Structure 1
Amino acid sequence: MWLNKEHTDNIAIKAYRTTLLHSCPNHIVIDNLFNAAKLDDVLSILKQPNQWQTQQHTYSALYVDSDQWQQALDNQRFVQRDIWQRKAHTPSNDTAHAFLSFLRDDIFMSFLSRIFNIELTDINVADPIINTNYFRLSRADFVRQHADDSPGRQVCMLLYLNKAWQPDAGGELAFKGCDNNPIRITPRYNRCVLFDPSSKGSEHWVEALNKEHSQRYRYNVTSWYWSE
């Protein structure tokens, strides 16, 4: 089982809903939601260096090539990070692929649907696979302020896979929040952040990694979900 049952019962769901409705942006943070031993297996695969590729976005175009990136002004560049490359054929014992599949499974999407009180489905999503993947950031990378409120997108999920993350390492997820009160969330191991991308204050960015920790990566899973 990927999910820890104590975080998925009716009492937990009720508490999540309350927190969601009374936060700005509408978000919740759940620690230890997933089976830690299984996530350890995932992380061991992610630390292999040969399956990552640089990804770059500008505010005017996503997935730009190197020429477009060089031509863009610095203030138009908002994402530079590495994205994990899925293999053409998924080995049956590859835990990293299995976890990505679970995050789009009916079990997990039903769990999210209960929290957000909306029916999430991939029935009208052209390519669900590309909406769930692993990412990593180095000291040189960045995710600047942006919104994830694409039409029909109801839920964004972030899960962090950073063991023994130090308080001075940087890399916090930062929400714009309300009333000039940004919210910063440390990317500690097995910490899941769920939020409504259309809610007030949900614009967000990632704080840069501090130079004292320039030799390490910040790992996370990002997954987006839609309703009909």
Structure 2
Amino acid sequence: MWLNEEQVSDSAIRLYRAKLTSTSPNYVVIDNLFDEAKLNDVMNVLSQPTHWQTQTHSYSELYVDQSKWHEVSDEERFVQRDSWQRPTSINNSSRAKPAQDFLAFLRSQTFLSLLSRVFNVHLTDINVGEPEINTNFFRLGSADFVSLHADDSPGREVCLLLYLNKTWNTNAGGELVFLGKDDKPVTIAPLFNRCVLFDPASEGSEHWVNKLNAEHAAGYRYNVTSWYWSE
């Protein structure tokens, strides 16, 4: 079982829903939502140097290839990070099974139903062409960045961020920062097994990630990002 049962009880769901409706943006932080031992198995896969590929986005065009990236101005660039590539060979897939199983769980009916209860909306992949590309692992190094942007999109109801570094130096940077409301940004540290759920259409949900401090960051900051839609 991927979930910690005590974190998904009826009373816990009520608390999450109350938090969502009382914040700007509408967000909730859930620590220890997932089974720690299983996440350790996932990190054993992700810490390997293989299956990572640089991903770049500009404000005018997502998934900019490297040849075009060099032509994009610094002001237009808002994401540079590594994304995890699902293994294709049988041997590699077997070794990467914990990571692939977790991605599959995050798009399972069980997890969709949980998020539907928290956000009081029916989430489904029935109209999502390629659900698997909307849930993946990412890593940030000291040269990478995620600048201010919005995740709102027609029908997109929920965004999930889950942090995976077992230990994280408080001086390492890498915090998620929501724009917030009334000049009051919201800063969230990327602690292990910390899940952030938010409504990307809510006020102040625009966000960025603080740059890593190379002096204190141990290699990379790892996380899962996942997006969910209603019908």
TM-score range, shorter chain: over 0.9
SS at structure 2 position matched to 1:220: strand
Equivalences for residues 53-68 of structure 1 within 5 A: 53-68=53-68
Question: Cα offset for 1:163?
Answer: 1.4
Identity of aligned residues (%): 61
Considering only aligned residues, what root-mean-square deviation do their CA atoms show, in Å? 1.1
Deviation at 1:91, TM superposition (A): 3.0
* Deviations 1:111-151 (CA, angstroms, capped at 9, x unpaired): 00000000000000000000000000000000000000011
* Counterpart AA for 1:26: N
- The answer to whether residue 144 in structure 2 is matched with residue 170 in structure 1 is no
Displacement of 1:50:
1.1
Gaps of 5+ in 1: none
Distance 2:50 2:210 in 1: 26
Letter in 2 for 1:180: D
Per the alignment, residue 73 of structure 1 pairs with 73
Runs ≥4 in structure 1, deviation > 4 angstroms?
A: none
Who is 1:101 aligned against?
Answer: 104
Corresponding residue SS for 1:71: coil
The match for 2:120 among 117, 121, 125 is 117
Aligned to 1:3: 3
Q: CA shift at 1:164, angstroms?
A: 1.4
Q: Which residue of 2 aligns with 1:193?
A: 196
TM-score w.r.t. structure 1 length? 0.98
Once residues 198 and 164 of structure 2 are traced to their aligned partners in structure 1, the CA distance between those partners, rounded to angstroms, is: 18
In the aligned structure 2, how far is the partner of 1:93 from the partner of 1:183? 35
Report the number of matched residues: 228
Query: Residue 211 of structure 1: SS of its match in structure 2?
Result: coil
Q: Matched residues in 1 for 2:214 and 2:48: separation?
A: 23
**TM superposition shift of 1:211:** 2.6
Unaligned runs of 5+ in 2: none
Find the counterpart in structure 2 of residue 132 from structure 1: 135
CA change 1:211–1:93 in 2 (3 A) is closer
